[in-house]
């Protein structure tokens, strides 16, 4: 079995094509949440480093390191041919795939997620870069040839500019790969701030983009805490857009910070996703999906199916079967190939989960499984937990726990299921299990969420857009719509031939009709 490294990996930050220390000279370390040993040693950036990164991204967008020495048509990154940008993005995808095992190992050490799952995530990240590469040659606007014989209208799609990207700790490489390649595909430049808990793979990605031939300054990576680095990116006047993934509370702070120069803001936020099982469902498949949906990534997952809505006529037998299956989920050392539920990311998250478990018991839900921290010499592990008899008003039915805790709420009719599903402030995703086409589509239409899985759960494809309703977010990632997110529209109107009907000339109104 793999073991943690004897010494922590030592990293630098990427600013303007250089691997640098923080201007202050400060560094910090990250301990593996499963093994209690230091696994990473990183520069600790502040606002000074952030400003340097934004300046580099701004220059790379406005002038480009190539502008002085290349031909006009090979100018800065936003003007590079789509085909050439595509080649670079494909090379990054290949580099991720080639380094899959190393990247997975680093993510396990920093996040506590299981190694087999981490490898799959690296594969998915490579797929996102490939898909984004395929879009670079399909970015186009509209033309209007219907405005009269002397007028032509064009709508160009142009990159929005410098994009600040702020990411969380739960899927570090995967989440930056939902943003960065799509922004690069359009010609944007970027300043990336990974979570200070899990920056290792994002920093390695910096090496890959350099080696793939990305011009200096197009991607900059600054390492540090949300305050001050994330805040500075959010408020910086030279940043045109923020693409943020994280909690709803911090998402609102990002909106506040962005007001100064009216940045475009895209937010992927939390969820309290209903997983709805009707009595006519394929029960065996639904059971497996419910267990996977809530315990995957220790429940530290925005898409976690953390609310099980089960039709009352099957509720007791279904919950008993969920409990039996949940008992057999292997929890333990995330470097063990057999592990499915690894360590909780840090003590703060552990305390948050345990306080929700307390709240569930205090408010009268029935603890059907788990509920305790698993004793361990080094790490923070929590038992897969099931609460039955939960009502929609209880805290554990409304708030995002971000841990391996399932709250079971019974319902009678499809209408009631929809009402309960829509009763939180979130609207990220939902799953539903039924053999009835009518029920499947009527309930899908009724639920206010960005993604609905029918007789499946938590699949994802680069082609399919992703994002939230309500307080689960603003905007969409992935798919062709990602290109719209990272582009501005510019209207150009061209007059053809000699124009005579100016407004001050007699008869011009007639000419306009
Ligand atoms: P946080 O919101 O705490 O942090 C997210 C990122 O924002 C981190 O890099 C953090 O930095 C940074 N940050 C913190 N404060 C500020 C600030 N004031 N201004 C700008 N940036 C700031 O989320 P977590 O990292 O705890 O991640 C968990 C949350 O992310 C959950 O709510 C989950 O649902 C959500 N999430 C949503 C996803 C989606 O696609 N919808 C996917 C994955 C997670 P640092 O922590 O380094 O200080």
Pocket perturbation via mutation, ligand 1, pick of 30, 226, 266 by most ligand atoms within 8 A of CB: 226
Cα angle for residues 358, 359, 363 (degrees, 5° grid): 120
Distance of CA 180 to the CA centre of its chain: 11
Angle between helices 100-111 and 115-135 (to 10 degrees): 120
Measured in Å, residue 167 CA sits from the centre of ligand 1 at 6
Work out which ligand 1 atom sits closest to the CA atom of 270: 34
Measured in Å, residue 162 CA sits from the centre of ligand 1 at 20
Those residues whose C-beta lies under 8 Å from the C-beta of residue 29, and which sit 6 or more positions away, are 8, 38, 40, 41, 42
Lining ligand 1 with CB less than 6 A are: 166-171, 175, 193, 195-196, 225-227, 230-231, 234, 245-247, 250, 253-254, 268-271, 302, 400, 402, 428, 468, 473
Q: What tokens does 445 get? A: 């239409």
Active site residue 463: no
Q: What tokens does 504 get? A: 């001050």
Whole-number Å distance between alpha carbons of 229 and 46: 6
Residue that is written with structure tokens 């059971």 in the block: 287
Is residue 195 a contact partner of residue 107, using CB atoms and an 8 Å limit? Answer: no
Whole-number Å distance between alpha carbons of 167 and 268: 10
Whole-number Å distance between alpha carbons of 57 and 494: 33
Half-sphere exposure of 123 (CA within 13 A, CB side): 8
Residue that is written with structure tokens 């186009």 in the block: 140
- The C-alpha R_g of the chain, in whole angstroms, comes to 25
Closest residue by Cα to atom 22, ligand 1, is: 226
**Which residues partner with 381 through β-bridges?**
374
Closest residue by Cα to atom 31, ligand 1, is: 247
Measured in Å, residue 39 CA sits from the centre of ligand 1 at 21
Work out which ligand 1 atom sits closest to the CA atom of 467: 41
Angle between helices 100-111 and 82-98 (to 10 degrees): 70
Closest residue by Cα to atom 21, ligand 1, is: 230
Active site residue 477: no
Starting at the earlier edge strand, list the strands of the sheet with 429-433. 366-369, 385-388, 405-411, 307-311, 274-277, 429-433, 451-454
Pocket perturbation via mutation, ligand 1, pick of 13, 198, 244, 246 by most ligand atoms within 8 A of CB: 246
pLDDT of residue 69: 47
pLDDT 10s digit of each residue in the chain, 513 long? 899 999 999 999 999 999 999 999 999 999 999 999 999 999 999 999 999 999 999 999 998 654 444 544 455 889 899 999 999 999 999 999 999 999 999 999 999 999 999 999 999 999 999 999 999 999 999 999 999 999 999 999 999 999 999 999 999 999 999 999 999 999 999 999 999 999 999 999 999 999 999 999 999 999 999 999 999 999 999 999 999 999 999 999 999 999 999 999 999 999 999 999 999 999 999 999 999 999 999 999 999 999 999 999 999 999 999 999 999 999 999 999 999 999 999 999 999 999 999 999 999 999 999 999 998 988 899 999 999 999 999 999 999 999 999 999 999 999 999 999 999 999 999 999 999 999 999 999 999 999 999 999 999 999 999 999 999 999 999 999 999 999 999 999 999 998 877 888 877 665 454
Strands 27-31 and 18-20: unpaired
Work out which ligand 1 atom sits closest to the CA atom of 477: 40
Q: Which of 302, 383, 400, 477 is catalytic?
A: 302
Is residue 123 a contact partner of residue 303, using CB atoms and an 8 Å limit? Answer: no
Whole-number Å distance between alpha carbons of 20 and 114: 31
> 237, exposed or middle or buried, with CB in 10 Å at 0-12, 13-18, 19+?
exposed
Closest residue by Cα to atom 4, ligand 1, is: 246
Measured in Å, residue 250 CA sits from the centre of ligand 1 at 7
Work out which ligand 1 atom sits closest to the CA atom of 257: 19
Q: Which of 196, 268, 400, 485 is catalytic?
A: 268
Whole-number Å distance between alpha carbons of 276 and 449: 13
- In angstroms, how far is the first alpha carbon of the chain from the final one? 80
Pocket perturbation via mutation, ligand 1, pick of 46, 173, 250, 272 by most ligand atoms within 8 A of CB: 250
Cβ atoms within 10 Å, residue 361:
14
Pocket perturbation via mutation, ligand 1, pick of 168, 227, 306, 347 by most ligand atoms within 8 A of CB: 168
């Amino acid at each position: 079995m793999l073991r943690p490294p004897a010494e922590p990996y030592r990293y630098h930050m990427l600013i303007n094509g250089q691997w640098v220390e923080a201007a202050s000279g400060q560094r910090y370390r990250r301990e593996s949440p499963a093994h209690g040993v230091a696994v990473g040693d990183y520069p600790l950036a502040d606002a000074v480093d952030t400003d340097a990164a934004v300046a580099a991204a701004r220059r790379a967008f406005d002038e480009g390191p190539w502008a002085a020495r290349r031909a006009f048509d090979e100018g800065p990154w936003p003007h590079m041919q789509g085909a050439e940008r595509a080649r670079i993005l494909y090379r990054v995808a290949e580099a991720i795939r080639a380094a899959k095992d190393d990247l997975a190992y680093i993510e396990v050490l920093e996040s506590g997620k299981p190694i087999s799952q981490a490898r799959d995530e690296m594969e998915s990240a490579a797929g996102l870069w490939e898909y984004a590469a395929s879009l670079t040659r399909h970015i186009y606007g509209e033309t209007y040839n219907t405005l009269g014989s002397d007028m032509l209208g064009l709508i160009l799609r142009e990159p929005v500019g410098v994009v600040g990207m702020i990411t969380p700790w739960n899927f570090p490489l995967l989440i930056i790969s939902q943003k960065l390649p799509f922004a690069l595909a359009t010609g944007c430049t970027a300043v990336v701030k990974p979570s200070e808990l899990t920056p290792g793979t994002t920093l390695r990605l910096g090496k890959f983009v350099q080696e793939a031939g990305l011009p200096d300054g197009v991607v900059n990576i600054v390492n540090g805490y949300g305050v001050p680095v994330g805040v500075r990116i959010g408020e910086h006047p030279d940043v045109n857009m923020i693409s943020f993934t994280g909690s709803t509370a911090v998402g609102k702070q990002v909106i506040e910070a962005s007001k100064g120069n009216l940045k475009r803001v895209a937010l992927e936020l939390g969820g309290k996703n209903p997983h709805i099982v009707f009595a006519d469902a394929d029960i065996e498949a639904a059971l497996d999906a419910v267990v996977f949906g809530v315990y995957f990534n220790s429940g530290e997952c925005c898409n976690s199916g953390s609310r099980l809505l089960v039709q009352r006529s099957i509720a007791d037998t279904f919950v008993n079967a969920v409990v039996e299956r949940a008992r057999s989920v292997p929890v333990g050392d995330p470097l063990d190939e057999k592990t499915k539920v690894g360590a909780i990311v840090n003590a703060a998250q552990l305390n948050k989960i345990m306080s929700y478990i307390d709240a569930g018991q205090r408010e009268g839900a029935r603890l059907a499984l788990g509920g305790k921290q698993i004793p361990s010499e080094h790490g923070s592990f929590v038992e897969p937990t099931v609460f039955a008899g939960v009502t929609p008003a209880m805290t554990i039915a409304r708030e995002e726990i971000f841990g391996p805790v399932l709250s079971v709420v019974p319902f009678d009719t499809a209408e009631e299921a929809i009402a309960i599903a829509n009763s939180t402030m979130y609207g990220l995703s939902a799953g539903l299990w039924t053999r009835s086409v009518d029920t499947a589509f009527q309930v899908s239409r009724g639920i206010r969420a960005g993604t609905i899985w029918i007789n499946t759960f938590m699949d994802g494809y680069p082609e399919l857009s992703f994002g939230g309703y309500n307080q689960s977010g603003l905007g969409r990632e992935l798919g062709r719509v990602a290109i719209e997110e990272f582009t501005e529209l510019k209207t150009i109107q061209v007059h053809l031939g000699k124009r005579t009907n100016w407004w001050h000339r007699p008869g011009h109104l007639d000419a306009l009709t």
